[in-house]
Structure 1
Amino acid sequence: MREISSSVTFEIERGETIPVMIAHSTRLNVEGASVWVSRSNDVEDYWVLPGSSLTLRRGERLWLSVDGDGPARVAFHGPLLAGERLRGALAALGELFGMRWRGGWRTV
């Protein structure tokens, strides 16, 4: 198996505002309720509908909140960094020889 992307998913409840810093160019996908997105260096606000996505730039700051009655699930999808690919390849090679990767959880 070869992993070609990495993602982080979380849920936002109605009434919450979540600040997010984008470390690498990525894509935001929304499920559940619509999400209101305010972006740094952008005078526009965005309403991302369920099933839709928004492309994000490295270094952006976001403020996310739910635009609806229920919770929203947001997922950030982006390519793996070279170091993450190397760790994954070393873990797969180690498993071939009966060793287990004990590096802990991957941070995306």
Structure 2
Amino acid sequence: MREISSDITFELAGGDVASVRVARSTRLVVRDGLVWVTRSDDVADYWLEPGHTLRLRRGERLWIGTEHEAARVAFEMPAHAGERAFDWFARAAARFGLHAGDGWRTV
């Protein structure tokens, strides 16, 4: 079983099943292929096509599989509020010729 705690993309060969545990709240994004997902504490199975997403809860377990062809899926962590605020500040500073966080400053 793999533990997902950061952004990661991986491939499943046709007919493969992967078991993962979600360490932090994240989002599953299907990049290529058709996959099915079974979640712990959920009676439904999910069939996802490329572009479909599924929000995942911290601590849940997943079983992800494909039937016949390979698939590629990505786990994406949401940005924390502090990171979003820093990103906004960096973009705003760049408009004025300042470069926040890169170790350089305009004089």
TM-score, scaled to structure 2: 0.66
- 1:27 offset after TM fit, Å? 0.4
Post-superposition, which runs of at least 4 consecutive aligned residues in structure 1 deviate over 6 A?
A: none
Mapped to 2, the partners of 1:43 and 1:34 lie a distance apart of 20
Q: How does 1:1-108 map to 2 (within 5 A)?
A: 7-67=7-67, 69-79=68-78, 96=103
Mapped to 2, the partners of 1:34 and 1:41 lie a distance apart of 23
- 1:70 offset after TM fit, Å? 2.2
Secondary structure of the corresponding residue to residue 36 of structure 2: strand
Which residue of 2 is the match for residue 101 of structure 1?
Answer: none
Asked if the contact 2:27/2:75 (under 8 Å) is kept, the reply is: yes
- 1:80 offset after TM fit, Å? 5.2
Indicate the RMSD between aligned Cα atoms, in angstroms: 2.1
- Residues 21-78 of structure 1, C-alpha deviations (whole Å, 9 max, x = no match): 00011100002211100000111100011111011111110000014x3211100001
Asked if the contact 2:8/2:74 (under 8 Å) is kept, the reply is: yes
Larger radius of gyration: 2
- 1:96 offset after TM fit, Å? 3.5
Q: Please tell me the residue identity of whatever aligns with 2:72.
A: R
The runs of 5 or more residues in structure 2 that have no matched partner are 1-5, 84-100
Higher strand share: 1
Flag the structure with more relative contact order, 1 or 2, with Cα contacts below 8 A and sequence separation at least 6: 1
The runs of 5 or more residues in structure 1 that have no matched partner are 1-5, 86-92, 98-108
Q: Please tell me the residue identity of whatever aligns with 1:14.
A: G
Q: Percent identity?
A: 49
